[in-house]
Amino acid sequence: MAEADSGTGGLLGSARRVGSSLLALLHTRVELFAVELQEEKLRAIRLLVWLSVAVALGVAGILVAVGVLGLFLWQRAGYAGVIGLAVAALTGAAALLWMIHRRILRGPDPFAATVAEIGKDLECLRPRD
């Protein structure tokens, strides 16, 4: 009878150790996910700031261009400097939008490290033939 209890205790002990290991593994993966989520949040905020700057420059360029067009049609004088300013603002906005687009397309995949680690875990847990 004592042997049956120790065998059951050994089996329960093993189950507890396996459960503990699985919980520790899950804890590690959740921590990794939290770190990557923070990185993605910062990346998104950074992109939103650059997008805001690009939109502001674009609006400024449009306003300057419309103002210049109005003044040009009124006086038909040389406002090349103001037109150049409008072109520079629009060019800057286009360059920033292109940079944002490139960063979005070439940026790292979200949660790539978490997905890779879970893939490794699954590979280790698969039975070997």
Contact 61/86 with Cβ under 8 angstroms?
yes
Average pLDDT over residues 6-25: 78
For residue 92, CA distances in Å to 31, 99, 105, 109 come to: 40, 10, 20, 28
Q: In the structure, what pLDDT confidence band is assigned to residue 95 with cuts at 50, 70 and 90?
A: very high
Domain boundaries, the chain: 30-125
Q: Tell whether pTM > 0.75.
A: no
Determine the pLDDT at residue 55.
Answer: 93
